[in-house]
């Protein structure tokens, strides 16, 4: 049986989200999805700023996100499973604040992300024309390794994410072979700790035109003993929900994964890929 899930979904409880939890759930039913995980943003280092954060009061936003998931879930019983998730940014930058964020709800699923390097701006705001890109990417993979080895999470989100901006804003096309050792270390750490690697399909619709990470990295994860992959669209509005999910599943299948994974109460559930 064809089972489709989207486990990377933002709502208005993310500073950059445009649809409500209810709108996302209704869209998911319309698309015939079996489950979604609502994973609104929680940038761990921002917690100390409270409501003064440029992203708003992220603790309150996540509390609201989880509460809304719990409130509407009964209405979708038998039709759609809606998981309580969070996209946890930079969990190793501020371990104490990260712990606080983890404690505010009973989560089903935690995605870990790096959206900015320590003491630097979000990748979105960087001026790539003045960056030493190889050095910047080296630091990015080092921080991912720290996250993969030490943070509390279920799946590592959008590995190679900065490439999305580098492709959009510069003519520089980094060769990931230059970072193979660092990437292998990240993938091995994930495999050893039995964490999942996310296949983020948002890149398919950007200049870069491929999943984040791409098929070579996903294949390598399998070779290094990776067992779990999660698939997410990173939709910020209902019209983008599940975009590219089928291609993400095919990519996983070609890379040697017979199952994709969803998380309930932080436990992996493997679902067969039918391709
Ligand atoms: Zn992200
Ligand atoms: Zn996201």
pLDDT digits (tens, 9 = 90+) for 228-272: 999 999 999 999 999 999 999 999 999 999 999 999 999 999 999
Report how far ligand 1's centroid is from the alpha carbon of 1 (Å): 30
Q: Has this prediction a pTM greater than 0.95?
A: yes
Task: Give the ligand with the smallest distance to the CA of 39.
Answer: 2
User: Vertex 247, ends 246 and 251: CA angle to 5°?
Assistant: 120
Report how far ligand 2's centroid is from the alpha carbon of 39 (Å): 7
Report how far ligand 1's centroid is from the alpha carbon of 74 (Å): 28
Report how far ligand 2's centroid is from the alpha carbon of 73 (Å): 21
Report how far ligand 2's centroid is from the alpha carbon of 10 (Å): 6
> What percent of the chain clears pLDDT 90, i.e. is strictly above it?
98
Report how far ligand 2's centroid is from the alpha carbon of 146 (Å): 20
Task: Give the ligand with the smallest distance to the CA of 236.
Answer: 2
Does residue 154 contact residue 111 with C-beta atoms inside 8 Å?
yes
Report how far ligand 2's centroid is from the alpha carbon of 234 (Å): 5
Report how far ligand 1's centroid is from the alpha carbon of 44 (Å): 13
Mean pLDDT of 155-161: 98
Task: Give the ligand with the smallest distance to the CA of 11.
Answer: 2
**Tokens representing 223?**
């070779």
CA 171 and chain centroid, separation: 26
Please choose, from the candidates 4, 2, 1, the residue with its C-alpha nearest in 3D space to the C-alpha of residue 248: 4
Report how far ligand 2's centroid is from the alpha carbon of 248 (Å): 16
pLDDT (tens digit, 9 = 90+) per residue, 169-195?
Answer: 999 999 999 999 999 999 999 999 999
Rounded CA-CA distance 27/235 in Å is 12
Residue 1 has pLDDT above 80, yes or no: no
Mean pLDDT of 12-18: 97
CATH of domain 5-272: 3.20.20.140
Does residue 82 contact residue 29 with C-beta atoms inside 8 Å?
no
Rounded CA-CA distance 71/53 in Å is 27
Q: SS3 for 202? A: helix
Neighbours of ion ligand 2 (CB under 5 A): 87, 234
Report how far ligand 1's centroid is from the alpha carbon of 62 (Å): 15
Report how far ligand 2's centroid is from the alpha carbon of 164 (Å): 13
Mean pLDDT of 31-56: 95
Rounded CA-CA distance 220/36 in Å is 27
With a CB cutoff of 8 Å and minimum separation 6, the contacts of 243 are 201, 202, 204, 205, 233, 235
pLDDT of residue 36: 98
Task: Give the ligand with the smallest distance to the CA of 234.
Answer: 2
Report how far ligand 1's centroid is from the alpha carbon of 80 (Å): 24
Mean pLDDT of 24-32: 98
pLDDT of residue 274: 87
> 71: left (phi > 0), else alpha (psi -120 to 50), else beta?
alpha
Residue with tokens 């309930």: 264
């Amino acid at each position: 049986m064809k089972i489709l899930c989207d486990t990377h979904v933002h709502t208005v409880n993310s500073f950059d989200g445009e649809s409500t939890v209810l709108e996302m759930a209704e869209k998911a039913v319309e698309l015939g999805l079996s489950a979604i995980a609502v994973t609104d943003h929680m940038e761990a280092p921002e917690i100390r700023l409270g409501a003064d954060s440029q992203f708003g009061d992220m603790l309150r936003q996540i509390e609201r996100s989880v509460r809304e998931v719990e409130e509407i879930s009964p209405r979708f019983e038998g039709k759609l499973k809606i998981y309580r998730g969070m996209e946890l940014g930079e969990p190793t930058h501020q371990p104490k604040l990260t712990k606080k964020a983890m404690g505010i709800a009973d989560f089903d699923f935690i995605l870990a992300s790096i959206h900015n390097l320590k003491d630097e701006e979000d990748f979105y705001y960087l001026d790539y024309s003045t960056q030493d890109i190889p050095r910047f990417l080296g630091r990015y993979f080092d921080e991912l390794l720290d996250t993969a080895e030490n943070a509390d999470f279920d799946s590592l989100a959008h590995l190679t994410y900065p490439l999305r901006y580098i492709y959009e804003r510069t003519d520089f096309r980094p060769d990931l072979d230059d970072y193979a050792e660092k990437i292998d270390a990240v993938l091995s750490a994930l495999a050893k700790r039995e964490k999942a690697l996310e296949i983020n399909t948002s890149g398919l619709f950007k200049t870069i035109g491929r999943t984040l990470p791409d098929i070579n990295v996903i294949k390598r994860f399998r070779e290094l003993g990776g067992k779990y992959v999660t698939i997410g669209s990173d939709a910020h509005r209902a019209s983008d929900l599940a975009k590219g999910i089928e291609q993400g599943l095919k990519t996983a299948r070609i890379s040697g994964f017979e199952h994709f994974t969803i998380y309930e109460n932080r436990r992996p559930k493997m679902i067969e890929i039918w391709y």
